[in-house]
Amino acid sequence: MRILVTGGAGFIGSNFVHHLVAHTDHTVTVLDKLSYAGDRRSIDVLPAERVSLVVGDILDAPLVERLFAEHDAVVHFAAESHNDNSLADPRPFVDTNLVGTYTLLEAARRSGIRFHHISTDEVYGDLELDDPARFTESTPYNPSSPYSSTKAGSDLLVRAWVRSFGVRATISNCSNNYGPYQHVEKFIPRQITNVLRGGRPKLYGTGENVRDWIHADDHSAAVLTILERGRVGETYLIGADGEKSNREVVELILTELGQPADAYDLVTDRPGHDLRYAIDSSKLRAELGWAPRFVDFAAGLADTIAWYREHEDWWAPQKGATEAKYAAAGQG
């Protein structure tokens, strides 16, 4: 197959392209505008006969139409992805996540291409810390932030284009990813690189908020499974039973890097900060037989720490500007 991957120079998109090269014979075209979050070096290491990069915007309808005509399937990762940025300036989130997804769906409607839409568990809002419930495919949408509301809107567009126009689409909503090639603005890389630079991790609020962690390679395997065997029109939740409080994650990072487990700072909380996410991925596991490989979070985190230690050349160019932004927001 010829697969078009939007946002394939970003964190999860590039991990997915690496996964396709390692586990399939498909050829891959990445469509990515190389925003601050995209980095061609994340895919440059892959063989040129398998992977090519088109630098362009998903809002560019003629470009999208041309690329759809040349491919068998599209996996749509491209997005503005960071909650904190969406609180500072929501506009790019509306443009890329809503209008960009609309642009792709209109092209899919005309070309008939198989379409997989990547989304997030944040569309479901948050859970109490002691709530035994987890998100399922039938949990009502209740997004909190500009980021998650634009992702929720994009999911609803996909559902409408399936029902109204017969677009052959599936949707997946995944929990928090960790692994190589993640931008240093995000929680885990920010704390690892702070400590590697001799600084301290920064926990929002009290650090009690819980995220449900999954390795990006497990996410990639799940997406490939859905692309190959998922039922058109269906939504699948992806998660690896990885609930941890932010404080627990920081303590693991500090310990792995030989620092006292309490050598962190508490900083200004994120406005509207979702308390807890938790995914029930039974449908994906039972229907399509997917299971995560990275079941030991501490081991996966140690691999990720080692990757950031060995790839300072990859993350160093973004670190200064990212920390300056956090400092200006009182979170430095």
| Residues acting as catalytic residues | 121-122, 147
Give the contact letters, 122-161, x = binds to ligand NAD (CB under 6 A), - = no: -----------------------------x----------
Among 150, 75, 92, 160, smallest CA distance to 120 is for 150
CB of 182 to ligand DAU, least distance (A): 8
Binding at 322: pick from ligand NAD, ligand DAU, none (beta carbon under 5-8 Å per type): none
Look up residue 121 and give its DSSP letter. Answer: G
Q: Please tell me whether residue 71 binds ligand DAU under the rule CB under 6 A.
A: no
Contact assessment for residue 205 and residue 265, using Cβ atoms and an 8 Å cutoff: no
Q: Please tell me whether residue 6 binds ligand DAU under the rule CB under 6 A.
A: no
Binding at 35: pick from ligand DAU, ligand NAD, none (beta carbon under 5-8 Å per type): ligand NAD
Give the contact letters, 78-107, x = binds to ligand DAU (CB under 6 A), - = no: ---xxx------------------------
Secondary element (H or E) of residue 315:
helix 312-328
Q: Please tell me whether residue 176 binds ligand NAD under the rule CB under 6 A.
A: yes
Q: Determine the Cα–Cα distance for residues 208 and 321; give it in Å rounded to an integer.
A: 27
Q: Determine the Cα–Cα distance for residues 267 and 83; give it in Å rounded to an integer.
A: 16
CB of 260 to ligand NAD, least distance (A): 28
User: Interacting stretch for ligand NAD, rule CB under 6 A, among 26-34, 196-204, 256-264, 273-281?
Assistant: 26-34
Q: Please tell me whether residue 74 binds ligand NAD under the rule CB under 6 A.
A: no
Q: Please tell me whether residue 183 binds ligand DAU under the rule CB under 6 A.
A: no
Sequence-separated (6 or more) residues with CB below 8 Å from residue 251: 261, 262
Q: Collapsing DSSP states into helix, strand and coil, what is residue 172? A: strand
Q: Determine the Cα–Cα distance for residues 21 and 48; give it in Å rounded to an integer.
A: 11
Binding at 7: pick from ligand DAU, ligand NAD, none (beta carbon under 5-8 Å per type): ligand NAD
User: Interacting stretch for ligand NAD, rule CB under 6 A, among 61-69, 74-82, 246-254, 317-325?
Assistant: 74-82
CA distance readout (Å), 222 to 74, 135, 184, 297, 310:
15, 17, 25, 18, 28
CB of 65 to ligand DAU, least distance (A): 28
Look up residue 36 and give its DSSP letter. Answer: T
Please give the angle made by the CA atoms of 10, 112 and 290, to the nearest 5 degrees: 55
Q: Collapsing DSSP states into helix, strand and coil, what is residue 120? A: strand
CB of 189 to ligand NAD, least distance (A): 10
Q: Collapsing DSSP states into helix, strand and coil, what is residue 254? A: helix
CB of 104 to ligand NAD, least distance (A): 10
CB of 247 to ligand DAU, least distance (A): 9
Residue 230 burial (C-beta neighbours within 10 Å; 0-12, 13-18, 19+)? buried
Chain residues binding ligand DAU by CB under 6 A are 81-83, 120-122, 175-176, 186-187, 190, 202-204, 209, 211, 246, 270, 277
